[in-house]
């Protein structure tokens, strides 16, 4: 974890921290199949994702090899007591803005949480890399920043403690969901092949 201040307008907050998101998964299908299924069949993966309650595609705009998506996610799971004291279940809902490039097999994304959007910044890139004969390594890299001073109801004295607890919770949740999505995608593709 790398901690540093971040600029918001003209203020620099020392309570903000940047936490790295990193998750890799091997999927036993070729890159074009994995990339297309992840991009185009995301809502069909819901049955394979126990910690996700819903995924709704709000918009899709295609332009050549690029597709821009806006997806709304609703997650589930337990929220730790230190985080639950100030954050609600709304923290487990987010809007995902994703730009998929089929020529480069990458997806650049950013997440906007439905709760405390002014305090949370999260984004990154997914790379779909050929690995061996007919397999794909999904490499997810990103960062999460929370400025706890911007979370209403958090006393200044507790901001750094609550901020760190929220960051730890969200990074672990995001990484687990990314791995779970890759595993769900692999199972979805296996089931799709078996049904053919």
pLDDT, tens digit, 9 for 90 and up, residues 160-191: 666 666 667 766 777 777 778 888 999 999 99
Domain that holds residue 187: 21-195
pLDDT at residue 163, rounded to an integer:
62
Domain containing 145 — which CATH number? 3.30.530.20
pLDDT at residue 49, rounded to an integer:
84
Longest dimension (CA), the chain: 59
Is residue 79 domain-resident?
yes
Question: Looking at the predicted structure, is the pLDDT value of residue 159 above 60?
Answer: no
Is residue 12 domain-resident?
no
Question: What is the rounded average pLDDT of the residues 76-105?
Answer: 73
- Residue 154's pLDDT band, with cuts at 50, 70 and 90, is low
Is residue 110 domain-resident?
yes
φ, ψ of residue 49 to 5 degrees: the values are -125, 90
Q: How many domains does the chain have?
A: 1
93-125 tens-digit pLDDT: 889 999 999 999 999 999 998 877 787 888 999
DSSP state of 87: -
Is residue 171 domain-resident?
yes
42-65 tens-digit pLDDT: 999 988 887 788 899 999 999 999
Is residue 16 domain-resident?
no
In the sheet where 120-130 sits, what is the strand order? 17-27, 136-146, 120-130, 106-113, 93-101, 66-75, 52-63
The structure's pTM equals 0.78
């Amino acid at each position: 974890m790398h901690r540093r201040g971040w600029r918001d307008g003209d203020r620099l907050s020392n309570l903000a921290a940047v936490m790295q998101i990193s998750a890799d998964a091997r999927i036993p299908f070729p890159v074009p199949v994995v990339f297309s299924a992840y991009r185009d069949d995301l809502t069909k993966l819901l049955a394979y994702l126990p910690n996700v309650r819903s995924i709704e595609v709000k918009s899709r705009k295609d332009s050549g090899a690029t597709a821009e998506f806006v997806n709304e996610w609703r997650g589930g799971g337990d929220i730790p007591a230190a985080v639950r004291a100030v954050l609600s279940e709304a923290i487990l809902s987010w809007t995902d803005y994703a730009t998929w490039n089929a020529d480069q097999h990458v997806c650049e994304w950013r997440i906007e949480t439905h709760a405390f959007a002014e305090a949370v910044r999260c984004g990154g890139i997914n790379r779909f890399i050929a690995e061996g004969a007919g397999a794909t390594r999904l490499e997810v890299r990103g960062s999460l920043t929370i400025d706890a001073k911007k979370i209403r109801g958090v006393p200044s004295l507790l901001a750094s403690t609550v901020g760190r607890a929220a960051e730890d919770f969200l990074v672990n949740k995001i990484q687990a969901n990314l791995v779970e999505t890759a595993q769900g995608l692999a199972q979805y593709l296996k089931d799709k092949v078996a049904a053919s």
